[in-house]
């Protein structure tokens, strides 16, 4: 097992990501603060802070919002904490402390904390774990508490959440006088492991383990509680509320395919890995490895998106990856990053880093507009605005990024991921440091009680040169493992200018460089990037006869603003030379791909025509998927017709 690096130990200096992270700090976090305080005109009211003030007795009023409105405050706090870990900001810290003081006041005398049940349904706590989100909200607030404690060392929120965790522990467990339940929306599992790690309190780990292993056991808890609520249809064996929606259709150890709500699924799997790491549970790890294969080899879009249908925001069946009706929620791709990173802590395997990178550079980044003010909740791989506006099966598709959402889970989730990006770049233990992502940064590790500093420089994702330089007081023997991305055909690696025979040192997608490292040692990695045609497995019927363009980890797409409409007709010939063009609109560094393609000439006034059709040569321009929708509304398409 290897650990993540705390956010405060990694200074992200990367040209590409630094810009996104500063946006989070300067635009998104303040904007979200305004939203949470209902100070943004023309946007859906949030009421989230006000719910806490009402619960704290500081204000009169009624609860408003989704049953999980508290978690919006938690995600904002967590993002703010990560930001403060790297960029001290006394004003922000003071405002955070104010919010935390309100939260502390909203906590009940027995430790319970949830504004929905405190304000709106007092006396009904823990009566609907399946649909309501008490444990989910607690999980997010625990994550915020841990992040804030680690960022600035203040314990108030951590203490509040320990009391809440103690309260939850008094309510749930195998003992007869407790509830044998678990959350409908997973999240608290991974949060409790974080709380265990920072406090050392074993009960939190045991509770996480209980929540994970109790899930899906018979008699089914969600049926029991539905019976107690007096509901008629307690088995819910139909439609959305099939137990697979909450991954409780089977005990987790019996699950072999990813089912149900995609965000919930990857949050569960992340928690399973966390529990497994801390309890040395091979059974949970084996299950996670099986599920990983299923997700990434049968149920993942090329963008790292997961969740094939809007109904239930869910996985469907193997190889069912519809481009235009995909759900591929931003939060689900973020959850996939969480899970991938945890798998990487267990097994040093390039697949985890590759998927993490794929999700980050595509489905995660597409979730936020370049100016940081607008967001995609769903991220389909094809958009036809006229069809999306009309067809009911496209109802969940937004053809343009929106300012905020009534159900505002994605924007703060993007913020907290970007603000904490530093912790996803490296992994380490006492014998090894691995470079999992190529992000310019300065990181500090403790290896065998010695401080090791590592500087990474790169122009990724536009250029594949990565330069690593070590800084140590004394020479030290350890393994530096550098991920060799699977998209790269001819990688090269040199230590202090001397080429290494990569095939000899590469294991499972990592170049494993074990030696005595000295101060100033450099590792230079060349990952030549070129436009690549990528094909999907023939069972992915949506993509038969179609090709996607990638360059490095970046998936490309066509937009109407560059290529006109009816994009599915645009043909990319097998022999077309694909050129690179630097500069797209307001992004001078961005690289577009261009080629000579074709469109079909079709007889006038016909819907169907016999015989061979003539082709018309057209210039075609593809742009990174994560940049789409930042210029003009219109059609967008990832999978191009192979000419």
CA–chain centroid gap for 157, Å, is 25
261-300 positions binding a copy of itself, by CB under 8 A: 296-298, 300
Nearest Cα to 32, choosing from 443, 518, 533, 404? 404
Size of the site for a copy of itself (CB under 8 A): 60
| CA pair distance 388, 368, nearest whole angstrom | 20
Does position 42 interact with a copy of itself (CB under 8 A)? The reply is no
| Shortest spacing between CB 530 and a copy of itself, in angstroms | 10
Say how many CA atoms lie within 13 Å of 130 toward its Cβ: 24
Catalytic residue numbers read 313, 409
Q: What count of other Cβ atoms lies within 10 Å of the Cβ of residue 575?
A: 6
Does position 539 interact with a copy of itself (CB under 8 A)? The reply is yes
Q: Which of the stretches 21-29, 66-74, 198-206, 307-315 binds a copy of itself when contact is defined by CB under 8 A?
A: 307-315
Please identify, using beta-carbon distances, which residue of 516 and 565 lies nearer to a copy of itself: 565
Contacts of 169 (CB under 8 A, 6+ apart): 203, 204, 207
| Shortest spacing between CB 321 and a copy of itself, in angstroms | 9
Q: Which of the stretches 14-22, 249-257, 418-426, 530-538 binds a copy of itself when contact is defined by CB under 8 A?
A: 530-538
Residue of 533, 573, 587, 633 interacting with a copy of itself (CB under 8 A): 533
| Shortest spacing between CB 179 and a copy of itself, in angstroms | 32
Does position 568 interact with a copy of itself (CB under 8 A)? The reply is yes
208-267 positions binding a copy of itself, by CB under 8 A: 239
Contacts of 443 (CB under 8 A, 6+ apart): 5, 9, 10, 11, 422, 425, 426, 453, 454, 456
Residue of 257, 309, 479, 589 interacting with a copy of itself (CB under 8 A): 309
Residue 579, phi-psi category: left (phi > 0), alpha (psi -120 to 50), beta (remainder): beta
Residue of 109, 218, 392, 449 interacting with a copy of itself (CB under 8 A): 392
For 426-438, the DSSP string reads EEE-SSEEEE-S-
Q: Which of the stretches 36-44, 144-152, 179-187, 303-311 binds a copy of itself when contact is defined by CB under 8 A?
A: 303-311
| Shortest spacing between CB 326 and a copy of itself, in angstroms | 12
544-563 positions binding a copy of itself, by CB under 8 A: 544-546, 548, 550
Does position 535 interact with a copy of itself (CB under 8 A)? The reply is yes
Residue of 131, 283, 386, 581 interacting with a copy of itself (CB under 8 A): 386
Does position 574 interact with a copy of itself (CB under 8 A)? The reply is yes
Please identify, using beta-carbon distances, which residue of 200 and 611 lies nearer to a copy of itself: 611
Tell me how far CA of residue 152 lies from CA of 26, 143, 149, 395, 503, in angstroms.
Answer: 19, 14, 6, 43, 44
**Using the 8-state DSSP alphabet, how is residue 394 labeled?**
G
Residues of 382-412 as b/e, b for ≥16 C-beta within 10 angstroms?
bbbbeebeeeeebebbbbebbebeeebbbbb
Tell me how far CA of residue 242 lies from CA of 130, 135, 235, in angstroms.
Answer: 11, 20, 8
Residue of 219, 232, 588, 608 interacting with a copy of itself (CB under 8 A): 608
Q: DSSP H helical segments within 410-501, as ranges? A: 410-419
Please identify, using beta-carbon distances, which residue of 515 and 537 lies nearer to a copy of itself: 537
Q: Which of the stretches 62-70, 145-153, 403-411, 532-540 binds a copy of itself when contact is defined by CB under 8 A?
A: 532-540
Q: Which of the stretches 82-90, 218-226, 514-522, 537-545 binds a copy of itself when contact is defined by CB under 8 A?
A: 537-545
Residue of 39, 155, 227, 391 interacting with a copy of itself (CB under 8 A): 391
CB 267 within 8 A of CB 190: yes
CB 431 within 8 A of CB 476: no
Binding site for a copy of itself (CB under 8 A): 239, 296-298, 300, 302, 308-312, 316-317, 320, 325, 384, 386-387, 390-393, 487, 489, 532-542, 544-546, 548, 550, 566-569, 571, 574, 599-600, 602, 605-613, 641-642
């Amino acid at each position: 097992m290897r650990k993540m690096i705390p956010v405060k130990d990694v200074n992200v200096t990367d040209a590409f990501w630094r810009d996104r992270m500063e946006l989070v700090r300067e635009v998104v976090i303040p904007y979200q603060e305004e939203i949470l305080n209902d100070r943004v005109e023309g946007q859906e009211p949030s009421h989230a802070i006000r719910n806490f003030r009402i619960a704290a007795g500081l204000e009169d009023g009624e609860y408003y919002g989704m049953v999980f409105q508290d978690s919006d405050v938690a995600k904002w706090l967590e993002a703010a904490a990560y930001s403060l870990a790297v960029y001290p900001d006394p004003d922000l810290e003071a405002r955070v402390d104010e919010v935390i003081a309100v939260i502390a006041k909203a906590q009940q005398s027995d430790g319970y904390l949830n504004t929905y049940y405190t304000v709106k349904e007092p006396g009904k706590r823990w009566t609907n774990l399946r649909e309501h989100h008490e444990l989910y909200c607690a999980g997010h607030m625990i994550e915020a508490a841990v992040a804030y404690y680690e960022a600035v060392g203040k314990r108030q929120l951590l203490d509040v959440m320990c009391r809440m965790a103690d309260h939850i522990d008094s309510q749930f467990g195998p003992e007869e006088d407790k509830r044998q339940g678990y959350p409908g929306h997973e999240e608290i599992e991974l949060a409790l492991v974080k709380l265990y790690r920072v406090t050392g309190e074993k009960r939190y780990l045991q509770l996480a383990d209980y929540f994970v292993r109790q899930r899906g056991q018979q008699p089914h808890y969600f049926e029991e509680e539905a019976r107690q609520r007096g509901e008629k249809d307690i088995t819910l064996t139909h439609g959305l509320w099939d137990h697979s929606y909450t991954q409780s259709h089977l005990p987790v150890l019996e699950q072999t395919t990813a089912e149900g709500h995609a965000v919930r699924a990857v949050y569960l799997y992340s928690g399973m890995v966390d529990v497994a790491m801390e309890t040395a549970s091979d059974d949970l790890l084996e299950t996670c490895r099986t599920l990983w294969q299923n997700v990434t080899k049968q149920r993942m879009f090329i963008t790292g998106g997961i969740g094939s249908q809007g109904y239930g925001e869910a996985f469907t069946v193997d190889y069912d990856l519809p481009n235009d009706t995909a759900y591929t929620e931003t939060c689900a791709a973020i959850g996939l990053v969480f899970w991938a990173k945890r798998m990487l802590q267990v097994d040093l395997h390039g697949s985890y880093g590759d998927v993490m990178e794929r999700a980050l550079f595509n489905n995660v980044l597409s979730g936020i507009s370049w100016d940081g003010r607008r967001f995609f909740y769903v991220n389909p791989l094809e958009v036809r605005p006229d069809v999306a506006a009309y067809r009911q099966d496209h109802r969940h598709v937004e053809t343009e990024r929106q300012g905020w959402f009534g159900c505002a889970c994605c924007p703060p989730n993007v913020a907290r991921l970007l603000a904490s990006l530093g912790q996803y770049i490296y992994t380490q233990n006492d014998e090894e440091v691995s470079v999992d992502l190529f992000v310019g940064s300065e990181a500090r590790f403790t290896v065998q009680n010695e401080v090791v500093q590592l500087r990474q420089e790169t122009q990724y994702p536009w250029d594949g040169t990565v330069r690593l330089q070590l800084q140590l007081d004394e020479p030290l023997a350890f393994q530096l493992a550098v991920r060799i991305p699977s998209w790269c055909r001819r990688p090269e690696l040199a230590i202090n200018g001397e080429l290494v025979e990569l095939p000899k040192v590469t294991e499972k997608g990592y170049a494993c460089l074990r030696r005595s490292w000295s101060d100033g040692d450099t590792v230079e990695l060349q990952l030549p990037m070129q436009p690549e045609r990528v094909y999907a497995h023939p069972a992915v019927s949506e993509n038969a006869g179609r090709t996607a363009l990638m360059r490095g980890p970046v998936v490309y797409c066509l937009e109407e603003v560059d290529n006109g409409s009816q994009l599915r007709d645009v043909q990319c010939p097998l022999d077309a030379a694909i050129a690179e063009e630097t500069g797209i609109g307001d992004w001078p560094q961005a690289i577009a791909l261009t080629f000579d393609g074709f469109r079909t000439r079709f007889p006038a006034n016909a819907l169907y025509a016999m015989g061979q059709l003539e082709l018309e040569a057209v210039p075609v321009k593809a742009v990174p998927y994560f940049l789409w929708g930042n210029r003009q509304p219109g059609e967008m398409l990832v999978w191009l017709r192979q000419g």
